[in-house]
Amino acid sequence: MNDVQSTIHAVKGFKVAGVHAGLKADGALDMTLIYSETPCVAAGIFTTNLVKAAPVLVDQETLAKNNTHIRAVIINTKCANACTGQQGIDNARQMQRWVAERLGIGEDEVLVMSTGVIGTQLDMTKIRHGIDLVADALGDENWEAAARAIMTTDTRPKFASWRDRNTDYVVSGIAKGAGMIAPNMATMLGIVATDLSIQADAMPAQLKTTANLTFNCISVDGDMSTNDTLLLLANGQSGIRDGVDSGVVQGVLAVCHELATSIVRDGEGATKFITINVRNAHQNTARQIANTIATSPLVKTAFYGGDANWGRIIAAAGRAGVPFDADKAELWICSGENWSAAPYPTTNDWEDPTIATCNGAIQLFAAGIALNYDEGAASQIMRSPSITVTLDCGIMNGEYSNIWTCDFSHDYVSINGHYRS
């Protein structure tokens, strides 16, 4: 089938596992291993934070030297191995060595990922024990366990699959993330594996384009982590080749979209899923405005309270640091998730189901002033579990940006106020 699935399919040539290595005190799964029986072409996108965790630095160095023979990815939770100095670098490389020895592969064929508290050193005794356990547990069908074993404040595992109905190639992925989520990169760990064959020189551009349409379009709280990593591994075992001219692999894009939006849905303390559409502005301008709206604490708390306080949205757009003229702008809200890969409809097209599905859209603002809208109906929309905000900037025709975000609740403060404890 060609639709992305919330279940996860095995990927030819890949074996995975998730185990409890003793890193988490509660017995929860806390270490994941993904292994390919044959070498993978690989690409990675990493945090743009100037403070980078040891595994990020080690993986960047590894991929710079070898992006055609990657065989394994090892991931631990509980400790981010960030701000840990040379010892942290040494420990990340030791993880590479231990996995390589256990699987009989080269050290430069292993990538490392970590997530958890910043500033603490890895417990290498537990890491070594966990590597033995997870290597023994490798199997074709263990993707859900692998997804569970990378969770931190996540309330549920995040996984998705795509199977092409014509050629039968598979794309499967897992991700973690619920807080410290902001674009460039969104704070998360993600691994996408496929049995498709992708040329090494084409893969970085494909992954970058995919991330720009998915993981770089989500925000929970506007914070950026030290460990953000998205990896794409392709071992070619399906025998199907993705041509250089095909652009982003459709299945990879679909899986990454599902994983990215699932992070927002599971945002720390989140009660609502919100789509921010900013249209009719230069794309970079639209994205900056959308990001500013999506990360505004005042906007996010208004969503939580079900308050149609549109002034907060317009004010956020005006402080985004890019061209914006309130006298040209128009603002709508509606319930539901309304986004598309095509340009968004004009003012009079909201009721056309062939262009957009919008559940009783209400226009709140135009030409610099509030419109005569039904306050009760607007508040009802703001109490919906999913809400779409569309801001037409009136600057130019056609270009747009989507950002997915969530509200701020009391639980977000509670979760992050006691994260280390």
Residues known to be catalytic: 187
Q: How far apart are CA 155 and CA 178, in angstroms?
A: 8
Q: How far apart are CA 292 and CA 16, in angstroms?
A: 38
Let me know: does 157 contact 173? Beta carbons within 8 Å: no
Class of residue 274 by CB neighbours under 10 A (exposed 0-12, middle 13-18, buried 19+): buried
Q: What is the DSSP string of 332-394?
A: EEEES----SSPPP-GGGTT-TTT---EEEEEEEETTEE----HHHHHHHHTSSEEEEEEE--
Q: How far apart are CA 186 and CA 300, in angstroms?
A: 18
Q: How far apart are CA 39 and CA 234, in angstroms?
A: 8
**Helix or strand run (H / E) with residue 411:** helix 410-417
Let me know: does 115 contact 191? Beta carbons within 8 Å: no
288: nearest Cα among 315, 311, 242, 321: 321
Q: How far apart are CA 273 and CA 308, in angstroms?
A: 15
Which two tokens mark 55? 């595994």
Q: What single-letter DSSP state applies at residue 184?
A: S
**Could you give phi then psi for residue 9, rounded to 5 degrees?**
-95, 145
